Amino acid sequence: MRLAFAFVAALVATPAAAASSYDYDTLGAEFCRLSTAGDLAGLRPLLSRELAAALDAAARSPMLPPPQALFQTYTNAMPVCAARTRNAALVEITRSRAPGAGPAWIEYLVVVPEADGTDRIDDVLFATRRSDTLKARLAAFAAAGH
């Protein structure tokens, strides 16, 4: 009976615990800080193994842009980067100049759980079109580098 009660209690507690675990604002803020600074070494621990491997494959390409431009839609230097969790898999990244001084755009980080219990960035969905993603760009750079 105690085991059944513990199981039911765990089921009731799970939705609240799961809902609060999808707060990736800190992950997004760290991504903003590091990508704006062009700190590729600092970004690597935030990336999934698959995305890090794609980045390594593309690194041989002479066309690969600097990290400040690689992780954003356009190559314009954008000093303001803000992040907010959208749902269990996406973090909204807004890039702009000073508030009210356009241009500005929104990108999305795709967040995935890793086997070690951490959450990592697995891709960036760029603001241009659905098929324009960081992984797609990295694959093109990797193909050009071979």
**Among 62, 59, 61, 101, CA closest to 79:** 101
**Is a pLDDT exceeding 70 seen at residue 82?**
yes
Residues contacting residue 104 through CB under 8 Å, at least 6 positions apart: 78, 94, 95, 96, 97
Query: Average pLDDT of 36-53?
Result: 95
Whether the model clears a pTM of 0.85, i.e. scores above it, the answer is: no
